Amino acid sequence: MRATFPYMGNIYIPLRTIFKNLGIEPIIPPPYNQETLTMGAKLAPELICIPFKLTLGNIINALQQGADTVIHTSGRWSCRYGYYPFLSGIILRDLGFKFRQIVLRRDNLLEIVKILKEIHPNYTTIIRKIIRAFSLGYEKSKTLEKLERLAFFIRPREKNTGETSRYLRYYLTNLDKAKRSQEVRNLFTEARKKMRSLPQKEIKGIRVKIVGESFCVIEPFVNFNLLEKLGEMEIEVDPFLTAHRWLGFHSLRLGRSEVKEVGHLAETYWPFCVGGEDKNTIGYSIKAAKDNYDGIIHLHPFACMPHTSCGSSLERISRDYNIPVLSLSLDEFTQEASFYNRVEAFVELLKRKKTRLERPR
């Protein structure tokens, strides 16, 4: 079986390991690029959100690379995510692609065992494969999180712009290749030592919380590599969602107490759950204000129902907690230059506010 799946950010690193160790050949298409977007936008319904257009383009790339199976996650979402697999299935079959489509939901996870039974002779082998695949995959996912978080902290402080990102890319490539847990642990120890020893400078210590729709927060192509660029502008970013947290929140139900806590915080402003991390966006924004973050950036696709609806609550939070919020809508027509005009103005505002607050009265 040569399987592919729509991915975002570095999530393919643990997923590649899981697939390989389960005996499934993973077909990972090249990173998102303008061609993927143009192709997806041409084939998708005009007003559907940008994550659909990009993932559609990406799946086509994978099918052209020889994938014979497409694995999607889905669920009973109130937004469009619930019908992504079905819609993309219709479009791809209309284009003449022949493939098997597997839709994984929380209520049909046993589907994985059924698929594995087609590949492996007996249940003992399957159980052994599952244990190894998920333990190494989880180790990699956790390490990915630690490496990305380390970079979020070091990047704004680096003296030589771009050094942290270079190290991060190097260690992520090696993390992707690692075959054993011990190798993964050694890699992190070395990465931490190397990255911490980079020459550093004094900074104002401005912290920005990144909230919004999962794909827009995690995938650098769609957000014009915002998390890295903010770091280079001496801003310490803290995305509420990362590849590891997305996998943990939605598959293994990790961090339930944290999610419950932010859900509780969100209640006054947003007592609904319409999908796409709406409640988490509101809850984490309030938490950021209470934890004295300097600003919030809200990333969402144009025409995304959950985030268009909860946007007005963010404006109230900004007023009530006196915290600047910048809301950025993304689609295939968003221009990088105009996007960064707004980001740079916001960063300038945060820097001036910080200086004003620090000045003795």
Q: Which residues bind ligand SF4 (CB under 6 A)?
A: 49, 51, 79-81, 213, 275-276, 301, 304-306
Least CB distance to ligand SF4 at residue 28 (A): 22
Least CB distance to ligand SF4 at residue 46 (A): 14
Q: Which two tokens stand for residue 163?
A: 């050094």
Adjacent-strand bridge partners of 300: 329
Least CB distance to ligand SF4 at residue 211 (A): 13
Nearer to ligand SF4, 80 or 129 (CB): 80
> Who's near 66: CB < 8 A, 6+ residues apart?
2, 27
Nearer to ligand SF4, 54 or 191 (CB): 54
Least CB distance to ligand SF4 at residue 339 (A): 17
Distance, in Å, from the CA atom of 317 to the CA atom of 241, rounded to the nearest integer, reads 20
Distance, in Å, from the CA atom of 300 to the CA atom of 330, rounded to the nearest integer, reads 6
Distance, in Å, from the CA atom of 48 to the CA atom of 304, rounded to the nearest integer, reads 8
Least CB distance to ligand SF4 at residue 88 (A): 12
Least CB distance to ligand SF4 at residue 278 (A): 8
> Who's near 333: CB < 8 A, 6+ residues apart?
none
Q: What is the DSSP letter of 52?
A: H
Least CB distance to ligand SF4 at residue 304 (A): 3
Environment class of residue 274 by beta-carbon count within 10 Å: exposed (0-12), middle (13-18) or buried (19+)? middle
> Who's near 288: CB < 8 A, 6+ residues apart?
209, 211, 238, 296, 323
Beta strands in the chain (DSSP E): 2-4, 25-26, 69-73, 100-104, 206-212, 235-239, 295-301, 325-330
DSSP secondary structure, 242-288, as one string: -HHHHHIIIII-TTHHHHHHHHHHHTTT-----STTHHHHHHHHHHH
Nearer to ligand SF4, 239 or 301 (CB): 301
Nearer to ligand SF4, 90 or 345 (CB): 90
Nearer to ligand SF4, 184 or 211 (CB): 211
Contact 209, 281 (CB under 8 A): no
Nearer to ligand SF4, 273 or 305 (CB): 305
**Of all residues in this chain, which one has the CB nearest to ligand SF4 in the complex?**
276
Nearer to ligand SF4, 224 or 302 (CB): 302
